[in-house]
Amino acid sequence: MSQHSQFRLLARRRFLPFFCTQMLGAFNDNVFKQALILAILFKLGSSADTSLLINLCALLFILPFFLFSALGGQFGEKFEKAWLIRRVKFAEILIMLAGAAGMLLGNLPMLLAVLFCMGTQSALFGPVKYSILPQQLAEDELVGGNALVEMGTFLAILGGTIGAGVLMASSSYAGLVAIGVVLIALMGYLASLAIPAATAALPTLRLDWHVLRQSWRIMKLGLGQQKAVSRAMLGNSWFWFLGATYLTQIPAFSRDLLNGDESVVTLILTLFSVGIALGSLLCERMSRHHVEIGLVPFGAIGLSLFGVLLWWHAGGFPAAALPLDWLALLAEPQAWWILADILGLGVFGGLYIVPLYALIQSRSVVHERSRVVAANNILNALFMVVSAVVAIVLLVLLKLTIPQLFLVVSLMTVLVCGALFLDVPEFIERFLIWLLGEPVGGALAVRLRIR
């Protein structure tokens, strides 16, 4: 087996232009989305309920993933992938020009329409984003490539969120945001021009423009793959359920439980994102440069454990007379345990999600891969909506605290992942092989199968 670092892919034309393209796209999405949320809260002075508008923003961004992921999956099969990426990225420039105009005019309906168009562009890009990797990378590079993509995505989300805050703090926020989002979109398009050609998997595919019918067919196609792939899709979507739960509650958790100000929210978001990036990068070395689904149970154990520890350590946090900034928070000994738990959630989240993406890519049928990824995106969006419903039920109706919500979803992780691993014993067998080493673990896994 060739021993190499995943970072060497950043010096390869078959990976670097794609990596830059997708990272700039994620960065731009979050600059615009966060700038719009901050504008609603502090700048536009709308008479409407700000809470309603912010939740409407979340809905408008995620709705296109239900509506258009299936269409994106069809595009990803029918058209040459590099050509398709360039068309999608060119559309981003046009969308951001409209967003820039909306920001300069302070036109909220226009900005909300642009947000919906951004979600549509992301929904069309998602299937080709993941289905192109197996065509451009060797088998022993697939985990490393996925790790870099996940690292880049979460760091771009963090950077975009922080960058929007910096831009919106200026009195000239509208002009700065307008120029910024258009320039970033242009940079993404220019990066896409260097992506090497990737042959269309099924150029004879007949496009079905009926989005609901095609979404149902693609969901059946995705969940009808071999059991390991279909269950990996469910496990993947559970990660997005957890991620949406934690990321949504972090601002209120920081303010109400830790008595923190905005800098504390940024600190926790940074630790969570950096943790996922570290866990993703660790995957390649821990998996010995091949798709090792044995890391998935290891990641699930860590996600459950650190979720329980976060609930435990957040209890009885000392009250403060004034909001704490991030430096004052670090003066509290108990805060270090909480921050360690947040980092641990991120690290084990990365170890959990990267092998699942690699499994879906490597084992799905080649001429169905883009549509399988599209089905996975639809499932992810559905699970993220369900996470919001679960949070409302537990926090509003049942009056649980945020740490108790974290405890509940951690225990749910044990049940959900346990059921997945029992349904596909290969996850546990590979975990034993990985944990004990190939010769010993392999022999034990064989004996388990015989029994």
| pLDDT one-digit tens code per residue, 193-237 | 999 988 888 888 888 888 778 888 888 888 888 888 999 999 999
Report whether 233 contacts 360 (CB < 8 A): yes
Q: How many CB atoms lie within 10 A of CB 200?
A: 19
| pLDDT one-digit tens code per residue, 105-126 | 999 999 999 999 999 999 899 8
Instruction: Please give the Cα distance from 176 to 168 (Å, whole number).
Output: 8
* Structural domains of the chain sorted by starting position, each given as residue range(s) with its CATH number in brackets: 1-196 (1.20.1250.20), 225-451 (1.20.1250.20)
For the entire predicted model, the pTM comes to 0.81
| pLDDT one-digit tens code per residue, 48-98 | 666 677 778 878 888 888 888 888 888 888 889 999 999 999 999 999 999
Element (H, E) at 220: helix 211-223
- pLDDT of residue 262 exceeding 80: no
Tokens of residue 189, six digits: 């398009």
pLDDT of residue 438: 58
Q: Which residues contact 347 (CB under 8 A, 6 or more apart)?
A: 275, 276, 278, 279, 282, 302
Q: Which amino acid is at 141?
A: E
In sequence order, what DSSP letters do the residues of 85-129 get, joined into one string? Answer: HHHHHHHHHHHHHHHHHHHHHT-HHHHHHHHHHHHHHHHHHHHHH
- Note every long-range contact of 444-447, with CB atoms under 8 Å and residues 24 or more positions apart, other chains counting: none
Cβ-in-10-Å burial (0-12, 13-18, 19+) of 291 comes to buried
Q: Which residues contact 124 (CB under 8 A, 6 or more apart)?
A: 68, 71, 72, 75, 88
| pLDDT one-digit tens code per residue, 147-186 | 888 888 888 988 898 888 888 888 899 999 999 999 999 9
CA atoms within 13 A on the CB side of 199: 6
Q: Shortest CA distance to 144 belongs to which of 296, 10, 303, 27?
A: 10
Q: Shortest CA distance to 342 belongs to which of 302, 388, 286, 386?
A: 302
Mean pLDDT of 319-326: 81
Question: Which region, left, alpha or beta, applies to residue 198 given φ > 0 means left and ψ of -120 to 50 means alpha?
Answer: beta
State the average pLDDT for the chain.
Answer: 86
- pLDDT of residue 448 exceeding 50: no
Instruction: Please give the Cα distance from 248 to 226 (Å, whole number).
Output: 33
Q: Shortest CA distance to 85 belongs to which of 28, 130, 146, 41?
A: 130
